Structure 1
Amino acid sequence: MNEAIKLGISSCLLGNPVRYDGGHKLDHFIKETLGRYVQFVPVCPEVECGLPVPRESMRLVGDVQNPRLVTTRSGIDHTERMQQWVRQRLDLLADEDLCGFIFKKDSPSSGMWRVKVYNSGGMPSKTGSGLFAAAFSKRFPRIPVEEEGRLHDPKLRENFIENIFALRRWRASLASGKRQGNLVAFHTREKLLLMAHSPNHYRQLGKLVAEGKAKPVDALYDGYEGLFLEALSLKTTPAKNVNVLQHLLGYFKKQLDAAEKQEMLEIISRYRQGHVPLIVPITLINHYVRKYDQSYLAGQTYLNPHPIDLQLRNHT
């Protein structure tokens, strides 16, 4: 866990001048803030498959499920060139230990969702995916992906970054060995985080771990990984967070006096109503964890799932 998280990214988002017009699409949050905690693996499909900078712009045409990549003005078809490069690049990325990928929105190669695909009459429908982005998700379905435009939404940003840190923790657990005890320890640490994302998945995972000795270890770990990442892909909500906060408060029923309990309940209520961000009750809970030496809660990922200066829990 001391090594930086590896994150694939569309190269232009780091300020590299690789776009068709010789420009870039530098995203300051991604490069300068998130970049303090990740190691970027930049990818530019067009340049890496041999196209120049600058170059004629391209678009997707034809069948949404199997579109062609064609230059906008001259109509040159670069589909085969791109697909051949994609196969080779994905093989290389398989060795990179990526925990996520940030794609450039709207790109005919790297857009993940709602990319324009033009029909035979020249009319676009925003229903496609870029050739590289689609192939990446098909090859690596368990690696979290996002587009830089959607990361401007605080809730989507929080969920994506929480996911890449979660995948890094899971892989660190795998590196320590596939043993029942290790899986139980991991599941214990992630309990409250799972509850905040999906109580149903938390129950399924608990059942899987409890019955783990009856399963081949590889099948057990593969099943857990799939359900774990599926759970974390579901966004938290104020209602689910309130449930977890009340659960946390229950651990201090013997330590807190009446005034402290009332203060905590009032803060939780303010969070539920949208008056304060999640970081406010979390900060107070962390204070009580330290004050009363609550070792079990100190190990709960939910209280510190990512670096605090990313300010992912500061939105209301």
Structure 2
Amino acid sequence: MVYSSDNKIPVGISACLTGQAVRFNGSHKRSRFCTDVLSDYFSLRPMCPEVAIGMGTPREPIRLVSDSPTDERVRAVGVDSPDIDVTDDLRSEAVKVSALNQDLCGFIFMQKSPSCGLFGVKRYLKNGHPEGKASGIFASEFARLNPLLPIEEAGRLNDAALRENFMVRVFTYRDWQLFTQTTVTPARLIDFHSRYKYLIMAHSTVHYKETGRLLSDLSGDINQIAEEYFTLLMTALAKPASRKTHTNTLMHLQGYLKNLISAADKEELARIILEYRRGIIPLVVPLTLLKHHLNHHQEANAYARQQVYLNPHPYELGLRNTL
């Protein structure tokens, strides 16, 4: 796949992460990875649901509160003025944002926020005692409305594996958007899957088999089949790939070279893949060697070389250098 910074991918982001001073205390939480790195490829669309519903800046902070330890239903209320309840407003804002931004290919949320946090936001009882964790009101409603959209917290993007997985999903989502701009036909759907076959394998062998079964009979409504396929695809990619599954995929792709490279080259490639499996070297090493051999024998490896797995995101990002 060819990537260009000239045609940036629309991605939603909590406004405070872009440096906008919209937090409750008038500060921001700028993420340099988002603003200095991702902005080369993403058209970041800043949103602050608390400001959008008229809370102002600065403002009284809110927190998630539930009625009892066993009640996981939460509401967003004022810390000092619990009579201030913005739960419904935040949910309505999520519905509005979702409807007006159907072109988004992902969303990056601010962690720990009672409105935007996806995971592990502190939950309290009415008496002020902390009681477990929950998801922010806006983020949870937005995620419910967009179950296949790649979403992540900015803090979790510091983890190399989670960062790479998020980027894989965003670029895949965008590819599908572009694919469906033209009438979907059985032949085009098969061609799309042919490119994604080994990326799916690296994330989930179960979904690898399910997509194969789904596409084995295209006699039904092709648009419905395409929707089912996309659901399987994004569900598969949401499962982080491991060294074990990457190794399995690398070995399958290695098979395309078995009659083309020398015994010494085969031995070297097999050794490098094994060293990756053992955690000695990062994923970029066997991938680079594999791509070298595939490119050197282009005439016989068109199918292998077209695999998105080899280049699921811009090489310049170096996302596989530490996997």
Please give the range of the TM-score, normalised by the shorter of the 2 chains.
over 0.9
Q: How far 1:80 sits from its partner (Å)? A: 3.8
Q: Equivalent residue for 2:96?
A: 88
C-alpha contact 2:95 2:142 (8 A) present in aligned 1 = no
Show structure 1 runs of 4+ deviating over 4 A: none
1:301 aligned onto 2:308: yes
Amino acid at match of 2:86: H
5 Å-filtered alignment, 1:32-111, equals 32-63=36-67, 65-75=72-82, 76-94=84-102, 97-111=103-117
Deviations 1:118-143 (A, max 9, x none): 11232223321111101101111110
**1 CA distance for matches of 2:132 and 2:125?**
11
Residue from 10, 17, 25 that aligns with 2:14: 10
| Residue of 266, 290, 293 corresponding to 1:288 | 293
- 2:278 corresponds, among 264, 269, 273, to 273
TM-score by length of 2: 0.93
Q: Give distance in 2, aligned partners of 1:268 and 1:84.
A: 50
CA contact (8 A) 2:15 2:22 kept: yes
Q: 1:19: which partner in 2? A: 23
> Equivalent residue for 1:194?
200
Cα distance, 1:57 vs structure 2: 1.1
SS of residue matched to 1:61: strand
Whole-Å Cα distance in 2 between the matches of residues 248 and 88 of structure 1?
A: 45
Shift in Å, 1:218: 2.2
Q: CA deviation at 1:200?
A: 1.4
Answer with 181-190 or 283-292: which moved more: 283-292
Which residue identity is paired with 2:101?
L
1:14-34 deviation per Cα after TM superposition (whole angstroms, max 9, x unaligned): 111111111111111111111
Partner of 1:155: 161
User: Secondary structure of the equivalent of 1:42?
Assistant: strand
CA distance in 1, matches of 2:217, 2:239: 25
Question: Which residue does 1:256 correspond to in 2?
Answer: 261
Distance in 2 of aligned mates of 1:170 and 1:88 = 24
Distance (whole Å) between structure 2 residues aligned to residue 21 and residue 186 of structure 1: 48
- Stretch deviating more after TM superposition (257-266 or 84-93): 84-93
Amino acid at match of 2:320: R
Structure 1 Cα separation of the partners of residues 142 and 170 of structure 2: 16
Of 245-254 and 67-76, deviating more is 67-76
Cα offset, 1:79, TM superposition: 2.8
State the 1:65 CA deviation: 4.4
Q: Distance in 1 between matches of 2:87 and 2:272?
A: 56
Q: Is the 8 A contact 2:93 2:138 kept in 1?
A: no
User: Deviations 1:177-227 (Å, cap 9, x if unpaired)?
Assistant: 2110010000100011111011111111011111112x2122211111111
State the superposition RMSD in angstroms: 1.5
Asked whether 1:314 is paired with 2:302, we answer no
Render the CA deviation track for 1:26-49: whole Å, top value 9, x for unaligned: 111111111111111111011111
Q: 1:147 to 1:126 in 2, by over 3 A?
A: farther
Query: What secondary structure sits across from 1:118 in the alignment?
Result: strand
Unaligned runs of 5+ in 2: none
- Quickly say closer, same or farther: Cα 1:84–1:163, change in 2 above 3 A: closer
Q: Which is further off, 70-79 or 243-252?
A: 70-79
Measured in 2, the distance between the counterparts of 1:272 and 1:82 equals 45
**Which runs of no fewer than 5 residues in structure 1 stay unpaired?**
none
Where does 1:184-263 land on structure 2 (aligned, <5 Å)? Answer: 184-213=190-219, 215-263=220-268
Deviations 1:95-137, CA, capped at 9 Å, x for gaps = xx11111111110100111111211232223321111101101
> 1:90 offset after TM fit, Å?
2.7
